[in-house]
Amino acid sequence: QKSSCQSGSKKSEQFSSSGFILAAIGSSVGLGNMWKFPYVTGQNGGGAFFLLFIICLLIVGLPVLLGELAVGRAGRGDAVTSFTKLSNKKGWGALGFVAVLAAFLIMTYYSTIAGWTLHYAVESLTGNLFNNPNYEQQFTAFTAGMWPIIWQIVVMALSGFIIARGISGGIEKFNKIVIPGLLLILLIMLVRTLTLDGAAAGIKYFLYPDFSVLTFQSALAALGLAFFSLSLGLGAMLTYGAYVDKRQSLPLATLAVGAGDLTYALIAGLIIFPTTFTFGIEPNSGPGLVFVTLPAAFASMPYGSLFGGLFFILLAIAAVTSCLSLTEVPVSYLIRRFGFTRGKATTTVVLAMYVIALPCTLAAGGAWSDVKFGGRNLFDWLDFITSNVMLPLGGLFVTLLVGYVWKDAGSETGLRSSGMKIWLFTMRIVAPVLIILIFLSSVGLV
Ligand code: PHE
């Protein structure tokens, strides 16, 4: 009976203990793990980047996640409300607004990819996908055509429809099927991909760290990916935290989400890289990587069309559940701050999003993909600014609020003695210093 939609409005609305863990894992597992993680890892040279990602996840991501959950549970509101309440200062509310803006902007390109996923589900089930085994050519033709625009509208309309009605228990129960279902299919695929000819080369690329290929930009990308993948820095976990019972152990929830997120990323890598090396696909081919690689894996499996269809459908649902938590952040903000009705807030947010979402889809492979400013098209910019700048900034604000301003943070987490000391030290010093250093080094200042 959890509903992240009615952001803290009624006290009685609360997650059951297992429901919360599942919803939090559901928010964190999505396109970030299956689509973004493999391609960003591929663009940054493989194993060493994966190691950086794990370090960012453990040293910065998990402590910040615990902080966000604690802020949400104590603040009982959206990002702006909780920040203002716990700091007692209006200025902090403005910092919370960065989070709302980030969620809004992420949705504009996340919905593009969610749309791609739906298309691939249909194409796989009908078997069309396997008619032309040049998956790169197929992907390029698809993204240059009309379908991405149509599927994105489907995704946004669906998300808006569900959000406008309030997130019913139903859609969240989906997570109970989708998250384990996705895991099952992934494990079946894993058996196939690990027995491919190129498996050894792929595994080596993914797990053997070659530090010579890393740049300072890679560190920023790893940090951004860790935040994105854990749904941090934009108030989503904070909003969920507002529906958590006081008796729930936040540190345990944090560990469960971290373990779940890393597991999906690891399996995704173990599926994608053996396949790329077997079928001669470039691991650094960018956002299309998964859509070019997986069809080749499915085509080489018995019942591949069915597995492919199921996989892409589950991934699409996992993506839509993430879309809900993304859209809900600005919607709940409009409801609380400006007194909009839920219907009006949803319509306003979805229409405003679409103004950016459509050009973003055109830039992701269509007519505007070559319209570049400073080397990036609109799609790349939105991804870069949100993941690599806004999310780490949002995370930085959480560490500062928890570490220096809000005095009761430690006791809210339920950590004791040395655990609490280590966490507070991380939030005061380690995490903010790392975030700032990575920022400065990536712009060439350190
Ligand atoms: N964590 C989600 C994923 O990995 C993306 C997301 C980010 C969802 C932020 C909600 C909030 O796909």
Distance in angstroms (rounded) separating the CA atoms of residues 58 and 72: 21
Enter the DSSP assignment of 287: G
Distance in angstroms (rounded) separating the CA atoms of residues 279 and 198: 8
Count of alpha carbons within 13 angstroms of residue 165, beta-carbon side:
10
323 alpha carbon – ligand 1 mean position (Å)? 8
115 alpha carbon – ligand 1 mean position (Å)? 15
pLDDT of residue 446: 64
List, for residues 92-133, the tens digit of each pLDDT value. 988 888 889 999 999 999 999 999 999 999 999 999 999 988
Q: Compute the average pLDDT of residues 359-384.
A: 92
Distance in angstroms (rounded) separating the CA atoms of residues 346 and 203: 44
Mutate to test the pocket of ligand 1, among 229, 262, 328, 398 (most ligand atoms within 8 A of CB): 229
Q: Count CB-CB contacts under 10 A for residue 12.
A: 5
**In the predicted model, is pLDDT for residue 10 greater than 60?**
no
193 alpha carbon – ligand 1 mean position (Å)? 26
**In the predicted model, is pLDDT for residue 442 greater than 90?**
no
Ligand 1 atom nearest residue 236's Cα: 11
Homologous superfamily (CATH) of 4-378 is Hydantoin permease (1.10.4160.10)
Asked if 96 and 236 count as a contact pair (C-beta separation under 8 A), the reply is no
**In the predicted model, is pLDDT for residue 224 greater than 80?**
yes
pLDDT of residue 366: 83
291 alpha carbon – ligand 1 mean position (Å)? 19
**In the predicted model, is pLDDT for residue 59 greater than 50?**
yes
**Range name among 109-118, 201-210, 318-327, 375-384 with the lowest pLDDT average:** 318-327
Average predicted confidence (pLDDT) for the chain? 90
Distance in angstroms (rounded) separating the CA atoms of residues 104 and 95: 15
Asked if 410 and 423 count as a contact pair (C-beta separation under 8 A), the reply is yes
Q: Compute the average pLDDT of residues 340-364.
A: 95
63 alpha carbon – ligand 1 mean position (Å)? 17
Query: What residue's CA is closest to ligand 1, atom 7?
Result: 231
**In the predicted model, is pLDDT for residue 351 greater than 80?**
yes
pLDDT of residue 8: 41
Query: What residue's CA is closest to ligand 1, atom 2?
Result: 28
The DSSP result for 89-103, as a single string, is -HHHHHHHHHHHHHH
Asked if 423 and 66 count as a contact pair (C-beta separation under 8 A), the reply is yes
Rounded to two decimals, what is the model's pTM? 0.91
Distance in angstroms (rounded) separating the CA atoms of residues 217 and 227: 15
List, for residues 378-435, the tens digit of each pLDDT value. 999 999 999 988 999 999 999 999 999 999 898 899 999 899 999 999 999 999 999 9
Query: What residue's CA is closest to ligand 1, atom 6?
Result: 231
**In the predicted model, is pLDDT for residue 262 greater than 60?**
yes
The DSSP result for 291-330, as a single string, is HHHHHHHHHTSTTHHHHHHHHHHHHHHHHHHHHHHHHHHH
**Range name among 209-213, 338-342, 440-444 with the lowest pLDDT average:** 440-444
Among candidate residues 85, 95, 117, 87, the one with its CA nearest the CA of residue 182 = 117
pLDDT of residue 169: 63
Q: Compute the average pLDDT of residues 366-388.
A: 91
Query: What residue's CA is closest to ligand 1, atom 4?
Result: 32
pLDDT of residue 243: 86
Mutate to test the pocket of ligand 1, among 231, 317, 398 (most ligand atoms within 8 A of CB): 231
pLDDT of residue 106: 96
Give the percent of the chain with pLDDT over 70.
95
List, for residues 160-192, the tens digit of each pLDDT value. 998 888 765 655 667 778 888 889 999 998 998
- Name the β-bridge partners of 373: 376
Name every protein residue with a CB atom under 6 angstroms from any ligand 1 atom: 27-28, 30-33, 228-229, 231, 234, 236, 322, 325-326
Q: Compute the average pLDDT of residues 2-21.
A: 59
Burial of 231 (0-12, 13-18, 19+ CB in 10 A): buried
Ligand 1 atom nearest residue 37's Cα: 4
